[in-house]
Amino acid sequence: MGVTVDVRWVYRYPFEQVVASFLRKYPNPMDKNVILVKTVEEKRDVSTGIIYRKRIAVCQNVVPEILRKVSILKVPNIQLEEESWLNPRERSMTIQSHCLTWTQYASMKEESVFRECMENPNWTEFIQRGRISIMGAGFFNCILEAFASTFLRQGAQKGIRIMEMLLKEQCGAPSAE
């Protein structure tokens, strides 16, 4: 079955500042679940100017203890892989993330875009769609998907708050334009 979470947000800051804040967002004291983010590959296409990055994030296992009674859920950390394509000429960045942990039981994918806002070129639009499907856990599938849906929604909102805080620190108050 699976669950999908959609998020749209407009940062009242220029694209370059939003992307810079995103790339240094984690680890962060506001979200202690993200332990480490490591860039494992980075390259620039000289003809297009597009910068490709592959990063691995290590996060604490946030599955509630009651659900960790299932042996496969008893892991201390979860790993995520994030690939991004930054196009400075078009002022857009596309990000695709997926979970590297529990791949035989779950599929977690996120697709995100940062782009210049149509309403105001000094603002940045953020669009994200996340999808989680659990399989092979019998009647636990629905329970785990419900937890995952709540966690994804809360995580997206927390990520937006962290970005707003970083942007405020870096740039001051948002543009009123």
Question: Which tens digits make up the pLDDT trace of 100-142?
Answer: 987 777 788 999 999 999 999 999 999 999 898 887 767 777 7
Least confident among 8-12, 20-24, 134-138: 134-138
Question: In b/e form, how buried is each residue of 43-75, taking b as 16+ CB within 10 angstroms?
Answer: eeeeeeebbebebebbbeeebeeeeeeeeebee
Which carries the bigger pLDDT value, residue 101 or residue 48? 48
Q: Which two tokens stand for residue 23?
A: 């790339």
Question: Which tens digits make up the pLDDT trace of 160-174?
Answer: 899 999 999 887 766
- Confirm whether 167 is domain-assigned: yes
Q: Which two tokens stand for residue 161?
A: 């708050």
Query: Tell me, what CATH number does 142's domain have?
Result: 3.30.530.20
- Confirm whether 105 is domain-assigned: yes
Domain coverage including residue 158? 2-171
Q: Which two tokens stand for residue 112?
A: 């995100």
Question: What's the number of domains the chain is made of?
Answer: 1
Given a cut of 70, is residue 50 above it in pLDDT? yes
Q: Which two tokens stand for residue 107?
A: 């599929």
